[in-house]
Structure 1
């Protein structure tokens, strides 16, 4: 007798949690120094202490934004996998593992044409993000994933 299939944890989750735990330790230490400066009472130290306390707030905010994006990207990947539309990394590679540049450019052009025909499709933006990644343009890949995430509407569970 078996129940519903167990959902597998994403591959990079353990590493992300470990790095986040180390970052939390760093934030704790920085916040402690900031509070100590505030308690000192000297106007200069209070000003520096307030400035130091901004750092942990920024770090917490940035980490939260990245985890939210990662969760949405995973939901998009799950939706594409269920529809049989998940991108496949089948580009030819050199013996050293580098993607063949001409093949990456050709794949990119196909994905760009798909997006031109359907600019409001989160699926097209998702596929374009992976084409950018294969072409080595990580900055544009992340921007395309953010656009896909903004357009994505999660399927309603029954």
Structure 2
């Protein structure tokens, strides 16, 4: 629940920032001078990119949450029994030791979205966020194809 509240606060702050930047962009363009208009247009591009990224991240979070709930209902969610540091992050050595089993399961069933999702969770536990997101994105596509 803390994560969801933090995400909502960050979304609200980003929206506030985007509104303020958008207002400044309009003021620059209203000035009528060529350089000010160019700056205004450039400032309008930033909020558009920001909104697109925000929507993409919200969609990623919603899909991830749905998949976690489905795996939990199926009893296929991995047991979260790895030791943690006081900060709440997994101890790297124990996460690294558990990782090969998840990688082998994904290699053995390359079309199973569940195996790829669990691999994404294992990557995240090991601290490799880029690969974690890649594996989870791959599980999105596999799940979509499986349900079609």
Question: Normalised by the size of structure 1, how large is the TM-score?
Answer: 0.83
Structure with more helix by fraction: 2
Runs of 5+ unmatched residues, structure 1:
1-9
Name which of 35, 38, 46 aligns with 2:29.
38
- Cα distance in structure 1, aligned partners of 2:89 and 2:141: 31
Runs of 5+ unmatched residues, structure 2:
none
Partner of 1:7: none
CA RMSD of aligned residues (A): 2.2
- Matched residue SS, 2:30: helix
Q: Does 1:123 align with 2:114?
A: yes
Say whether the 8 Å CA contact 2:89–2:125 is kept in structure 1.
Answer: no
Partner of 1:13: 4
Name which of 132, 142, 147 aligns with 2:123.
132
Partner of 2:19: 28
Q: How many corresponding residue pairs?
A: 147
Name which of 54, 70, 84 aligns with 1:79.
70
Partner of 2:102: 111
- Cα distance in structure 2, aligned partners of 1:24 and 1:97: 29
Question: Normalised by the size of structure 2, how large is the TM-score?
Answer: 0.89
Partner of 1:66: 57
Partner of 1:5: none
Partner of 1:47: 38
Say whether the 8 Å CA contact 2:92–2:126 is kept in structure 1.
Answer: yes
